[in-house]
Amino acid sequence: EVQLVETGGGLIQPGGSLTLSCAASGFSVSSNYMIWVRQAPGKGLEWVSLIYSGGVTYYTESVKGRFSISRDSAKNTMYLQMNSLRAEDTAVYYCARGEFSTYDEYYFHYWGQGTLVTVSS
Amino acid sequence: QSVLTQPPSVSGAPGQRVTISCTGSSSNIGAGFDVHWYQQLPGTAPKLLIYRNSNRPSGVPDRFSGSKSGTSASLAITGLQAEDEADYYCQSYDNRLTGSGLFGGGTKLTVV
């Protein structure tokens, strides 16, 4: 059974750092397209970062240079290292596994339960 | 502001049919990329509802259906039930942008 469990959220001061983890079971993180999606309070879904099975990574503009996505095949876990956190980074962060649709497009069948990151002094 | 435009809210009475639109452009839906739909109940993670425009994952009732035409897509819900009250998001790909996580702004469905 495919399962994703996020951990690592919490209250952090502006300018601080936090690392989120997405532990997977039932499949290999390293062999799949994986994504971090966040949802600010009362707002919609926003993709944050993604990693292809081949290791190529991308970031949404607002987090470039501050966030870093990675994975550990031995632990079958994906990470999101978040530095220089801002109030606007406050959100529930979800990880999800991509399913190939067409061309370079993926959709997301399996999601974690989410972990809340609150950036506040 | 999302590249994919959805109405902020729609409503319907139990048993009725409602549709939620997702309007894109020639660089995403109009370019032939697939549209996928998600349902998000309050306080829960998004759930895949429709993939590749019109396909339902196992377990999703056939009351939910998706379609695509030109630069737009639609999600239709027939026989509306109270438990359908949720936020709905469309998702597609845009060949001018990076990443497949291009979500619409979301639509709040209220069952009145």
Q: Give me the mean pLDDT over the A11-30 stretch.
A: 98
pLDDT at B39 over 70: yes
Of the listed ranges A101-110, B18-27, B50-59, B62-71, the least confidently predicted one is A101-110
Contact check, Cβ <8 Å, B46/A105: no
* Confidence at B101, pLDDT banded by 50, 70, 90: low
Q: Give me the mean pLDDT over the A28-53 stretch.
A: 96
- Is the torsion defined by CA of B41, A57, A61, B93 positive or negative? negative
Q: Give me the mean pLDDT over the B63-75 stretch.
A: 98
Average pLDDT, chain B: 95
Contact check, Cβ <8 Å, B45/A114: yes
Give the pLDDT of residue B99: 62
What CA–CA distance (Å, rounded) separates A38 from A21?
14
Q: Give me the mean pLDDT over the A108-120 stretch.
A: 98
Q: Which residues pair with A36 in a beta bridge?
A: A49, A95
Contact list in A for residue B48 (CB cut-off 8 A) is 107-109
**A2 and A26 Cβ atoms separated by less than 8 Å:** yes
What CA–CA distance (Å, rounded) separates A8 from A15?
17
Q: Is residue A104 within 8 angstroms of chain B, CB to CB?
A: yes
Q: Give me the mean pLDDT over the B68-74 stretch.
A: 98
